[in-house]
Amino acid sequence: MIKRLARHYHFMREHLWTNSHLSPYLDQEVSAAERIRVEEHTHVCPKCHRMLETLRETLEGLRAMGAEGGAPSGLTDSVMERVRGER
């Protein structure tokens, strides 16, 4: 009974810790020990595993939205016209 409670406590502690470290894990901003800790928990926790995968796909989608096209032609000229108008 006590062992079961201890295992449950350990699992929930790892669950909470892992959830708070998913972002830095995906950003590769965790230590080697922390990386292993995230991977060990997501290996045994289906919920965290799916959370990690959906977050990974979300970030991939966001990164694909990066710089498209440029500023409208003439923007620099418009800015400088206003700058020259300032005294």
Partner 1 sequence: MRPVSHADEDDLVARAQAGDQGAFEELVRRHADRLYAVVTRFVGDRQEAEEVTQEAFLRAWRGIGRFQGNSQFFTWLYRIGINEAKRRVGRRASPAGSTSLDEHPGLEVSDLSQAPETSADRRELRGVLEGAIRALGPDYRAALILRDIEGLSTSEAAETLDLGEAAFKSRLHRARLSVRKAVDDYLGDER
Answer yes or no whether residue 31 interacts with partner 1 by CB under 8 A. Answer: no
Q: For 19-55, b where at least 16 C-beta lie within 10 A, e where not — what string?
A: bebbeebbeeebeeeeeebbeebbeebeebeeebeee
- Count of residues touching partner 1 (by CB under 8 A): 36
Q: Which of 6, 7, 9, 76 binds partner 1 (CB under 8 A)?
A: 76
Q: Which of residues 34-63 bind partner 1 (CB under 8 A)?
A: 47, 50-51, 53-55, 57-59, 61-63
Separation of alpha carbons 43 and 47, rounded Å: 10
Task: Compute CA distances 10 → 18, 30, 33, 41, 49, whole Å.
Answer: 12, 21, 17, 11, 17
Only one of the segments 3-11, 19-27, 35-43 lies at the binding site for partner 1 (rule: CB under 8 A); that segment is: 19-27
Q: Which residues bind partner 1 (CB under 8 A)?
A: 20, 22-24, 27, 29, 47, 50-51, 53-55, 57-59, 61-72, 75-76, 78-80, 82-84, 86
